[in-house]
Amino acid sequence: MAENKSIKLSVKRQENPESSPYWEDFEVPYRENMNVISALMEVQRNPVNAKGEKTTPVTWDMSCLEEVCGACSMVINGTARQSCTALIDQFEQPIKLEPMSTFPIVKDLQIDRSFMFDSLKRVQAWVPIDGTYDLGPGPRMPEKKRQTAYELSKCMTCGVCLEVCPNVNDKSKFMGAAAVSQVRLFNLHPTGSMNKNERLDALMGVGGVSECGMAQNCVKACPQGIPLTTSIAAMQRETTFHAFKSFFGSDHQVD
Amino acid sequence: MSKQDSSFLIRRIHSLLGVIPLGVFLVQHLVVNHFATRGEEAFNQAAGFMGNLPFVIFLEVFVIYVPILFHGIYGIYIAFTAQYKYGYPSTYRNISFLLQRVTGVLSFIFIAIHVYQTRVQVFMGADLDFDLVADIVENPLWLVFYIVGILATVYHFANGLWSFAITWGITQSDRSQRIMGYVSLLVFVIVSFIGIQAILAFI
């Protein structure tokens, strides 16, 4: 390795949610085993662009740095992914960094994923256990079911599946694959399934599972390899049954 | 179903109508047209039989016109609320997502023109016979338009069968969805063959 090797970054920047975006190039000194985040940290340390002008440091989100928190998602050379596992050596330079376009931009590469958390609240993606007394241990979970649920539980709400989805945009209210898959997760849970009808009702509401367009980009893009299209199809089946049961049936509320 | 939204029901009806009755009608229509390959006489007899079914106007309205307007108008709404993701990830499914919407809009335009050129003309007094279609496709531009229209409609139907199976929760596993993909391709090939052979018989 040459001593004075450098990394070329091209960053799509935006001052605030209202202002218009612009591209700025940076050149930072190369070190071995760098990732996109450590390169951005270099820019933060010395906020000078490729032309040698002093500029503002680039803003982005990050937390765990080991691809489990989902905070540092961005579009790197055209592909939405986590920047913490994006190793510099694996990319063609200049490395183009853009914020994920599906979400409102806060500043530079920092985006607002509230839409996803609101969807999780709407579908009640949790197991309600709070009460005034100890309910004791819940029912045991069959091992096979646990294995399936474990895969689904890897979702970190990173937003990549929404970014690649053609049906998640300003014109549609579709909640995207992540929230649908979480309904499957919590409906699989023995205690969680006691509230499965409320979750299915939410999935049949505005922006629910029926608005999936089946481009199946989500499952290809998911950094955790979650079987998102199987989850969506599973929820299509559950909501179909739920619709028939709630119209024609009587005792489905307790089953 | 108070908590559930009407859009769920509308989407499910949209999906159902695409196959029953519209898909069934499409196949039936192309099969009847295929009589043209057996000569003018055979086609006139078959078309005469279809056109003189009892209560034909009610059959047309409830099996064709109402479903197609519902499916077409809501389908255009679906197509234009999507924002296609170019290039990434470049998979067959991402491309077929786009094709499904493009062929949907194309079919809707094609069918509107086709209905004007045939059914509306018959309503205004033209004879329902071989020459009605033969006069149209005499012009090579109309012939090309018809071939493109048939291919688009059949693709939309065949690929629609694949998504129908997911929408109703029939194909859930990866494997079943993949096999259904092959089935829908086979349907596309067979039904287009019937349709193209039929239209070429009018030249």
> Does B83 reach chain A within 8 Å, measured CB to CB?
yes
Residue range B37-47: mean pLDDT, rounded: 94
DSSP string, A233-248: HHHHHHHHHHHHHHHH
Name the minimum distance, in Å, from the CA of A26 to any CA of chain B: 26
* pLDDT tens-digit map of A71-124: 999 999 999 999 999 999 999 999 999 999 999 999 999 999 999 999 999 999
Domain check: are A222 and A173 in the same one? yes
d(CA B156, CA B105): 10
Confidence tier at B1 by pLDDT (50, 70, 90): very low
Domain check: are A88 and A128 in the same one? no
Domain check: are A25 and A124 in the same one? no
* pLDDT tens-digit map of B142-167: 999 999 999 999 999 999 999 999 99
Residue range A231-245: mean pLDDT, rounded: 95
Known binding residue B34? Answer is: no
In a domain, A197, yes or no: yes
Interface test with B, best of A203, A204, A253 (most B CBs within 10 A): A204
What pTM value is reported for the model? 0.93
Domain check: are A210 and A128 in the same one? yes
Final residue in a domain of this structure, among A111, A128, A151: A111
In a domain, A1, yes or no: no
Chain A environment of B177 (Cβ under 8 Å): 229, 233
Final residue in a domain of this structure, among A54, A83, A111: A111
Predicted complex: ipTM over 0.95: no
Contact present, A191 and A139 (Cβ < 8 Å): yes
Name the minimum distance, in Å, from the CA of B179 to any CA of chain A: 14
Shortest CA distance to B152 belongs to which of B117, B109, B106? B106
Residue A2 has pLDDT above 80, yes or no: no
Domain check: are A217 and A153 in the same one? yes
Q: What total of structural domains would you count in chain A?
A: 2
Confidence tier at A47 by pLDDT (50, 70, 90): very high
CB pairs under 8 A between A and B: 112
* pLDDT tens-digit map of B74-125: 999 999 999 988 766 678 999 999 999 999 999 999 999 999 999 999 999 8
Domain check: are A147 and A170 in the same one? yes
CA–CA distance from A39 to each of A11, A99, A153 (Å)? 12, 16, 31
Chain A environment of B97 (Cβ under 8 Å): 166, 213-216
Residue range A122-148: mean pLDDT, rounded: 91
d(CA A186, CA B159): 32
> Does B121 reach chain A within 8 Å, measured CB to CB?
no
Domain check: are A17 and A96 in the same one? yes
Confidence tier at B2 by pLDDT (50, 70, 90): very low
Q: Measured at the alpha carbon of residue A213, what is the angle toward residues A209 and A217, in degrees to the nearest 5?
A: 105
Confidence tier at A129 by pLDDT (50, 70, 90): confident
Name the minimum distance, in Å, from the CA of B85 to any CA of chain A: 6
| Dihedral (CA of A32, A34, A40, A42) sign | negative
Domain check: are A83 and A138 in the same one? no
Domain check: are A83 and A140 in the same one? no
Residue A240 has pLDDT above 80, yes or no: yes
Mean of the per-residue pLDDT values for chain B?
93
Residue range A173-199: mean pLDDT, rounded: 95
| Dihedral (CA of A253, A115, A170, A69) sign | negative
Q: Which domains does chain B have, with CATH numbers?
A: 6-200 (1.20.1300.10)
**What is residue A254's predicted lDDT score, i.e. its pLDDT?**
57
* Full residue range of the structural domain in which residue A232 is found: 114-254
| CATH at A133 | 1.10.1060.10
| CATH at A21 | 3.10.20.30
Select, from the ranges A231-235, A250-254, B48-52, the one with the highest average predicted confidence (pLDDT).
A231-235
Residue range A135-161: mean pLDDT, rounded: 94
Considering only the beta carbons, identify the residue of A80, A201, A229 that sits closest to B4.
Answer: A201
Interface test with A, best of B92, B167, B178, B179 (most A CBs within 10 A): B167
In a domain, A14, yes or no: yes
In a domain, A18, yes or no: yes
Residue A134 has pLDDT above 90, yes or no: no
Known binding residue B114? Answer is: yes
Confidence tier at A5 by pLDDT (50, 70, 90): confident
Chain A environment of B180 (Cβ under 8 Å): none
Domain check: are A10 and A121 in the same one? no
Domain check: are A93 and A137 in the same one? no
Domain check: are A31 and A144 in the same one? no
Residue A3 has pLDDT above 70, yes or no: no
**What is residue B91's predicted lDDT score, i.e. its pLDDT?**
86
Final residue in a domain of this structure, among A111, A139, A159: A111
**What is residue A138's predicted lDDT score, i.e. its pLDDT?**
84
Q: Measured at the alpha carbon of residue B168, what is the angle toward residues B24 and B3, in degrees to the nearest 5?
A: 125
**What is residue A255's predicted lDDT score, i.e. its pLDDT?**
57
CA–CA distance from A197 to each of A62, A142, A145, A204, A236 (Å)? 36, 21, 19, 10, 14
